[in-house]
Amino acid sequence: MIQIDDKIISQEIFDQQFVCDLNACKGACCVEGDSGAPLLKNEAQELEKFYPIIKKYLSSNGKKAIKKQGFSIIDADNDLTTPLVNNRECAYVYYNAGITKCAIEKAYLEDGISFKKPISCHLYPIRITEYKEFDAINYESNKICSPACKLGELLKVSVFRFLKEPLIRKYGKSFYTELEVVEKSLSERSI
């Protein structure tokens, strides 16, 4: 484990190779799992605010699920998450050529809304657990992402390098620069 300020970081984000391969996995991370995407309170508010724009990209089942359950829900673990369609895919997905994609991100790219997508989705496969004293930043290994691990190995891209944009979005550029320093230090030790 590595500590930077009030963040405890798993070394796996430096060691594990990872580049999403949507053609292979078909966006399975938006479908698999026990609940929807974890949300911050302000993200739930953003979903409600931008829903009139986002909904034009949703499937009819997604719209029905949101109408029935709400823009966000409290799941069985008492966490704030996106609702699901039939306890399966996130209600905010749409399908394009058999690949699951994010309707929130599509509204961001096409209509210029200011909310790109939940940070938990943007950071995946990094999972952040916020404690009172620190944030724990961990890599979540998942067999549905094995194509991403293979592509990452082929391209020699680590998890933290692949997730540069969302890490900066979450913690800022100076934090990301600190991660680069840690990576350099770790690679020098392994020589």
* 93-134 pLDDT tens trace: 999 999 999 999 999 999 989 999 999 999 999 999 989 999
Q: What sign results for the dihedral spanned by CA atoms 82, 86, 88, 92?
A: negative
Same domain, 13 and 67: no
Same domain, 111 and 32: yes
Structure tokens of 153?
A: 């190995």
Average of per-residue pLDDT values in the chain = 93
Q: What is the per-residue pLDDT for 187?
A: 77
Same domain, 103 and 176: no
Same domain, 37 and 92: yes
Answer with the residue of higher pLDDT: 167 or 87. Answer: 167
Last residue of a domain, one of 88, 115, 142: 115
Rounded (5°) CA angle 158-171-154: 10
**pLDDT exceeds 90 at position 34:** no
Same domain, 14 and 64: no
Strand, coil or helix: 125: coil
pLDDT tens, position by position, 49-74: 999 999 999 999 999 999 999 999 99
Same domain, 89 and 153: no
- Whether the CB-CB separation of 142 and 13 falls below 8 Å is answered with no
Burial bucket for residue 24 (CB in 10 Å: 0-12, 13-18, 19+): middle
Q: In what order do the strands lie in the sheet with 126-130?
A: 2-4, 7-9, 135-139, 126-130
Same domain, 134 and 55: no
Indicate the helix (H) or strand (E) that contains 134: none
User: From the CB of residue 177, how many other CB atoms can be counted at a distance below 10 Å?
Assistant: 11
Long-range contacts of 97-101 (CB under 8 A, 24+ apart): 98/26, 99/22, 99/23, 99/26, 99/27, 100/26, 100/27, 100/28, 100/30, 100/31, 101/27, 101/30
Q: How many domains does the chain have?
A: 2
DSSP E strands in the chain: the ranges are 2-4, 7-9, 73-74, 80-81, 84-85, 89-90, 93-96, 99-102, 126-130, 135-139
Same domain, 14 and 33: no
Q: What is the per-residue pLDDT for 42?
A: 96
Q: What is the per-residue pLDDT for 52?
A: 97
Q: What is the per-residue pLDDT for 92?
A: 97
**pLDDT exceeds 60 at position 7:** yes
Q: Give the mean pLDDT of 25-34.
A: 87
**pLDDT exceeds 70 at position 190:** no
Q: Which residue, among 99, 57, 59, 104, has the nearest Cα to 82 in the 3D structure?
A: 104
Q: Give the mean pLDDT of 5-31.
A: 93
**pLDDT exceeds 90 at position 32:** no
On whether residue 81 sits in a domain, the answer given is yes
Same domain, 5 and 47: no
Q: What is the per-residue pLDDT for 191?
A: 54
Domain span at residue 91? 27-115
Q: What is the per-residue pLDDT for 189?
A: 73
Last residue of a domain, one of 85, 115, 145: 115
Same domain, 10 and 68: no
| % the chain with pLDDT above 70 | 99
On whether residue 96 sits in a domain, the answer given is yes
On whether residue 105 sits in a domain, the answer given is yes
Last residue of a domain, one of 93, 115, 137: 115
Same domain, 82 and 13: no
Structure tokens of 114?
A: 């200011």
Radius of gyration of the chain (CA): 17
Same domain, 149 and 177: yes
**pLDDT exceeds 90 at position 33:** no
Q: Could you tell me the pLDDT band of residue 176, with boundaries at 50, 70 and 90?
A: very high
Q: State the number of CA atoms in the 13 A half-sphere of 8 facing the CB.
A: 9
**pLDDT exceeds 90 at position 188:** no
Q: What is the per-residue pLDDT for 39?
A: 95
